[in-house]
Structure 1
Amino acid sequence: MAHSHHSDCCGHETVPPQAVVFKADESSWRAHLNLISAFAILLIMLVLLYGFNIQFPNPINLTVYSLAWLLAGWQVAKMAFRKVKHGDVFNEFVLMVVATTGAFLLGEYSEGVAVMVFYSIGEWFQDAAVSRAKRNIKSLMDVRPDHVTVFRDGSSETVPSSTVKLNEIIQVKPGEKVGLDGELLTESASFNSAALTGESQPDTKLKGQQVLAGMINLNTPVDLKVNALFKDSRLSRILEMVQDATSRKSRTQLFISRFAKVYTPVVFFLAFALCTLPYFFVADYNFNTWFYRSLVFLVISCPCALVVSIPLGYFGGIGLASRNGILFKGGNFLDVIAKTDVVVMDKTGTLTQGVFKVLSMEADGLSRDTLLYFAGTLESQSGHPIARAITDYYGKPEKGKVLNAEELPGMGMRGRIDDQLVLIGNYRLFEKYGISYPDHLNQIAETVILVSVNNRYAGNFRIGDELKADAKRAVNDLMKSGLKVVMLSGDKQKVVSSVALKLGIEEAYGDLMPEDKVKNLQQLKEKYGVVAFVGDGINDAPVLAIADAGIAMGGLGTDAAIETADVVIQNDQPSKILTSIRAGKITRSVVWQNIALAMGVKILVLIWGAGGMANLWEAVIADVGVALLAILNAVRIQRVSLG
């Protein structure tokens, strides 16, 4: 039997969830067989005694029940000895050994065996439930093929994904999973991205677009140019985050761990006091009677239900969110997001498509081709959605060489091309460098990107963006749920106000630098309480970091935003914001249901046991029964529909 995941409950060592045992190896199956044998012996002896009134001499009873105890409790006794050897006396394994040995000393052999058998059965269910939760999370995310087909030296060969280098060409056949992130070289192809986004709708990609590891090719053989190593792919990073998430404890888990460190020794001393103190106050004191009551007290006090069902609840919440295309980086963030009072959103890439198009361009003092050459070449050094719109509009494969390219978050780009100093960005960029531009551009509602050459205004691009299909519904649903919605954007106030009006957002602030967003968010936290911020750009990373819950759009979002965020929405849908909050609330509700159930029943039966109204049978049934109910309640999270 495996019990390592209980160590933190009894207070002295913390074993990460990855260490949960009960693997299908030889020792595990032997432990299962021993437990089944012990249960069979107990059942046969009880049937013979109560069904056929057959009573055996005490030596035979002692021998048979001792064998059953050893079969059921050998692993527990071994773990108890190991912990005592390391100075950890107050833990559930010692508690079970003391309680059952005491029952044998009193001649209550069947009850002593029953306590150990049912305790071990409860342990088995707990281990199996935790293992299942972890398997569910892993199966949702670990979809990377270990091998890919790569073109080398004029022929194709199958090699381990981890050996493929940048810019090599790989082929993915219909029905195969993409093994590495890459740029699509085939004209077009459709992919199933459910493993990454939770969405089963086919995702059609065009030549030059990014295809991510974990997607499944649906219709035609495709060639990809690898642009991220196996260890650096988006899916690999997500997998690492999932592994980290299962070991990152929530405040509730940490509280229960601290509580167990105090709780376990306290119940030992209370049991001792229950056995000895009545000697001084009860006239007809009988040691055996009060010793038996103290054993009942010990069995009831075992904190299994709390210790397993709580982390299992958070595993279930992480798995539930993952199945809906949402990655929580830890159980603690499920707690935080459940308490959200206000949702603050970026505009571009969060509420709008983030897929910009150049609507028009104007050149001033140089030809349109020259303006496009400078703008397209410099913007090719940036991953910003607006930069991609301009490079797509430029569309020429031959680009000039950029020297000293520098991205200025919230403003634009700066660099030298053909010995000319080129700046491209918004109004704040020009104000920073004292470059003048035509006043009428301030009246334009769309996003305007200005270009200067050698600190002289050289023209502009008018950029258009569209609202995401579910943006308005997402905002409405958040408001109906009683949440305040605020927009913070680096875009100019006129554009921000226009988008806010369409969505029904009352508070919307534009013209914000990254440090302005941070300042605004801090004010919102003071004003409203717990704040979740949703963003996708590199300029959102600082504000994602200081938000109570930072949520990144994972499809179009930059690596900096995804790495900084606490929660990642993998399909970029704003409607998933409320889904993530619901996942947090459901998880928190189930966890607190389990805490109330476990503590309520234990306190009640402890009182009965101390008063002599409960025996060891009732104690073990109460303990194991509550643990199983709590586990089933926690497992239920994984089957909940988030709507």
Structure 2
Amino acid sequence: MKKKKVNLRDLKPSSEKEHNHDDGHNHSASSYNFKVYIPAIISFAMLIIGIILDYFDMPFFKDGIRIIWYGAAYLPVGLPVIKEGWESIKKGDFFTEFFLMSIATIGAFVIGQYPEGVAVMLFYAVGELFQSAAVNRAKGNIKALLDVRPKEANVFREGDYKSVSPEVVNIGEKIQIRVGEKIPLDGILLSEKASLNTAALTGESKPDSIQKEAKVYAGSINLESVIEVEVTNKFEDSSIARILDLVQNATARKSKTELFIRQFARIYTPIVVFLAIGVTFIPYFFVDDYIFRDWLYRALIFLVISCPCALVISIPLGYFGGLGAASKNGILFKGASFLDAMTKINTLVMDKTGTVTKGVFKIKEIKAIGWKEPEFMKYLMAMEEQSTHPIAKAIMEYKADGEDFQATKVTEIAGKGLKGTVNGKTVLVGNKALMISNNIEVLSETDSIVESIVMVSIEGKFAGYVIIADELKDDAHEAIKQIRESGISKIIMLSGDKDSITQQVAKEMGIDTAKGGLLPEDKLNEVEKLMSENDGRVAFIGDGINDAPVLAASDVGIAMGGLGSDVAIETADVIIQTDQPSKIAKAIKIGRSTRSIVYQNIALAFGVKAVVLVLGAGGLATMWEAVFADVGVALLAILNAVRLQKMKWK
């Protein structure tokens, strides 16, 4: 899949470009926010004055004056809606909410119901303003990502640091970041250490302490001292650009519920329009005292009630809220459809290394025989210093007092280990096969050790061993507990690591089924088998690199640490930015809460509309009830959807 290049300048919403909305307290933003309410305020004031004049039956407020007054009250809110309706008609889309509101309110004027015509359009306009405000609020957590875009970079050129646009900095150049500044581009830390705030990228509030040569990501904030970074990605390929691209595209991937409602509204609205026409004319053939004006009024009520804006607005708003809540918690969904998909998962398949474990080897146990531990480790470290293997790196992290030993004449024995001389003594370092081939007797207790083990012999005698193991992530146990509590009872671990190690990790975490020693294609076969059984909905969570085929094939692919992995961004459906497996349960909860609120809004809209439609057709409901059935229900649905932004996700 070809990665789309992102120009961050193009990602800024049009409202921000035009009105400078980056700061909610700046003058232009405040003046714009006020201006959008001016037409509604004018109409409201004129409507109230008109109703008061009607109530006191003022002599001058009759006939032409009255029509002109209410017409003037109608235009500020009605004209934009009529214009939108006309634009839609020109495009061939007749049955829109704008068309319905225009016909209903103009019809009210035709039959002399001027105050009601103005009131319906006014409340509709106010409802639209509230909807816009709610949508902006729901998008708030997502748009907040735009605020982390670095504006400049201090790049080292011609013997000095120069401030330039991040877009013109090249790979390999050195940049400097002062305290409190945002890192403008992805890179490698050249300074000895750094403390970074990555909350805008990962949702993790705890500062991240990193050492020299560690990766750093654009958008992180430098907290402690001036640091230097070597750039590894161009601006458009940076981590923040990929996340912004992902978020911008997320809203375009509709859920099935959202798509269904939009399709339903296109069928439902014209049906109600023709029913309204029927309500106007059919009674002429069956009612003795038929009065055209009364039945037209009922039909207009019918039209107002039929407006589907409560459904069309509140449902995508619910999904916006879910996407925003997830983003705030360091979970990125690639679309509303995956929020829905997370709620249907009944089987979770997990990778081991880098998913539930840290993917970093550490010394778990040291057993020295006939030697003091520090001296034993110096012999071992002198040999391993010659190796670049990850296990050797883990051993070299051991701290021993005194002067280090030096190894000479070191040779590698393929598939077994190393042989060399340390302090004049012959030293062997490697696996059990190396010991046996040199007639060295090892302890029987080593046979039951499933983790990686490094054995050592000094001068032909077994001197001990070191157990090296990958550590579980801090929240691994809690993650499994929360996942089970969320209703997923079938949890499976598939790993490319040794089966014995995989089984031990699975047992330690309380996972019933585990398989190790699998190639990527083996994992794919296992997951496809699970997906074919009993209509299982399977989510797979992996590190997003060697697990890419399975991430793509599963019903929901979840990538860990997607911030640093291009493959994860391209392949996965959901990305856990903080590398924490416990976020899986949180993603499920957010998905279920979103679905629940969407269903509540559908039930509310259909229920109230159905009741008022029947009352309207029977002449028992006025325009005011119709306004509540449309705008009132829409506002209630919006308030319900906004709850997602207020929820605390444990």
- Partner SS for 2:148: coil
Is 1:150–1:171's contact at 8 Å kept on the other side of the alignment? Answer: yes
Q: How does the TM-score come out when normalised to structure 2?
A: 0.81
Larger radius of gyration between Structure 1 and Structure 2: 2
Identify if the C-alpha distance between structure 1 residues 348 and 183 changes in structure 2 by more than 3 Å, giving closer, same or farther: same
Contact 2:152 2:163 in 1 (8 A): yes
Verify: 1:631 aligned to 2:638, yes or no: yes
User: Which residue in 1 is equivalent to 2:52?
Assistant: 47
1:287-315: CA deviations, max 9, x gaps? Answer: 11111100000001111111111111111
Q: Are the counterparts in 2 of residues 329 and 566 from structure 1 also a CA contact under 8 Å?
A: yes
What amino acid is aligned across from residue 32 of structure 1 in structure 2? Answer: Y
CA–CA distance in structure 1, aligned partners of residues 416 and 619 of structure 2: 82
5+ residue gaps, structure 1: 1-15, 361-366, 377-386, 396-419, 426-436, 450-460
How far apart are 1:333 and its partner, in Å?
0.6
Name the SS of the counterpart of 2:547 in structure 1.
Answer: helix
The CA deviation at 1:49 is: 2.3
- In structure 2, what is the Cα distance between the partners aligned to 1:82 and 1:69? 19
1:160 aligns with 2:146: no
Going from structure 1 to structure 2, the CA distance change for 1:326 and 1:556 (only over 3 Å counts) comes to: closer
Q: Runs of at least 4 residues of structure 1 off by over 4 A? A: 16-31, 357-360, 367-373, 387-395, 422-425, 437-444
Q: Which string of whole-angstrom CA distances, capped at 9 and with x for unpartnered residues, describes residues 254-302 of structure 1?
A: 1111111111111111111111111122222211111110000000111
Q: 2:476 maps to which residue?
A: 471
Partners of 1:54 and 1:388 in 2: CA distance: 92
- Cα separation, partners in 2 of 1:476 and 1:17, compared to 1, 3 Å: same
1:212 CA displacement: 1.1
Cα deviation, residue 442, structure 1: 9.6
Instruction: Give 1:101-140 correspondences, 5 Å limit.
Output: 101-140=106-145
Equivalence for 1:601: 608
Q: 2:276 aligns with which of 263, 267, 271?
A: 271
SS at match of 2:359: coil
Amino acid at match of 1:233: S
1:289 is aligned, of 294, 311, 327, to 294
Q: TM-score, normalised by structure 1?
A: 0.82
Matching residue of 1:77: 82
Q: Is the 8 A contact 2:598 2:641 kept in 1?
A: yes
Tell me the amino acid that sits aligned with residue 117 of structure 2.
G
Residue 591 of structure 2 corresponds to 584
Q: Which amino acid aligns with 1:617?
A: W
Aligned residues: 567
1:207 paired residue number = 212
Supply the distance in 2 between the matched residues of 1:490 and 1:537 (Cα, whole angstroms): 14
1:559 to 563, 566, 578: 566
User: Does the 8 A contact of 2:249 with 2:334 survive in 1?
Assistant: yes
- The 1:27/1:197 distance shift into structure 2, 3 A limit, reads closer
Matched with 1:89 is 94
Moved more, 519-528 or 24-33: 24-33
Q: Distance in 2 between matches of 1:187 and 1:596?
A: 59
The answer on whether the counterparts of 1:355 and 1:389 sit within 8 Å (CA) in structure 2 is no
CA root-mean-square deviation = 3.2
Distance 1:557 1:185, change over 3 A: closer
CA distance in 2, matches of 1:347, 1:490: 8
Aligned pair in 2 of structure 1 residues 205, 368: CA closer, same or farther (>3 Å)?
closer
Q: CA deviation at 1:558?
A: 3.4
Pick closer, same or farther for the CA change 1:631–1:17 going to 2, 3 Å.
farther
Quick check: 1:189–1:217 contact (8 Å CA) kept in 2? yes
Which of 623, 643, 649 is matched with 1:616 structurally? 623
Contact 1:17 1:247 in 2 (8 A): no
The one-character-per-residue Cα deviations of 1:529-586 (angstroms, maximum 9, x if unpaired) are 2111110042211111111111111268632133211111111111111011111011
Aligned counterpart, 1:550: 557
Query: Could you tell me how far apart the structure 2 residues matched to 1:505 and 1:443 are?
Result: 21
Which of 327, 337, 342 is the aligned partner of 2:332? 327
**Any conservation in 2 of the 1:22–1:128 contact (CA below 8 Å)?**
no
CA 1:244/1:171 → structure 2, altered by over 3 Å: closer, same or farther? same
Cα distance in 1 between the residues matched to 2:616 and 2:328: 44
* 3-state DSSP of counterpart to 1:103: helix
Distance 1:75 1:28 in 2: 17
Alpha carbons 2:201, 2:330 under 8 Å: kept: yes
Report Cα offsets for 1:32-89 as digits up to 9, x if no partner.
3222111110011112223x34362111111111111112111011111112222221
CA distance in structure 2 between the partners assigned to 1:199 and 1:557 by the alignment? 15
Partners of 1:224 and 1:423 in 2: CA distance: 39
Q: Is the 8 A contact 2:280 2:299 kept in 1?
A: yes
1:171 and 1:222 in contact (8 A); partners too: yes
- Does 2:328 match 1:312? no
**C-alpha deviation, 1:227, in angstroms:** 1.0
Identical-pair percentage: 52
Deviation of 1:252 after TM superposition, in Å, equals: 0.9
C-alpha deviations, 1:460-487, integer Å up to 9, x for none?
Answer: x985211111101111221233212111
Q: Do the aligned residues in 1 keep the contact of 2:155 with 2:161 (CA within 8 Å)?
A: yes
Identify if the C-alpha distance between structure 1 residues 241 and 448 changes in structure 2 by more than 3 Å, giving closer, same or farther: farther
Asked if the contact 1:174–1:219 (Cα under 8 Å) also holds between the matched residues in 2, the reply is yes
Deviation, 1:393, is 7.2
Aligned to 1:434: none
Unaligned runs of 5+ in 2: 1-10, 20-27, 367-379, 398-411, 418-432, 437-445, 455-465
Partners of 2:154 and 2:385 in 1: CA distance: 39
**Contact 1:21–1:127 under 8 Å retained in 2:** no
**1:479-518 → structure 2 map (5 Å cutoff):** 479-483=484-488, 484-518=490-524
Cα distance in 1, alignment partners of residues 283 and 632 from structure 2 = 30
Are the equivalent residues in 1 in contact too, given 2:141–2:328 (CA < 8 A)? no
Q: What amino acid is the match of 1:503?
A: M
2:118 partner amino acid: V
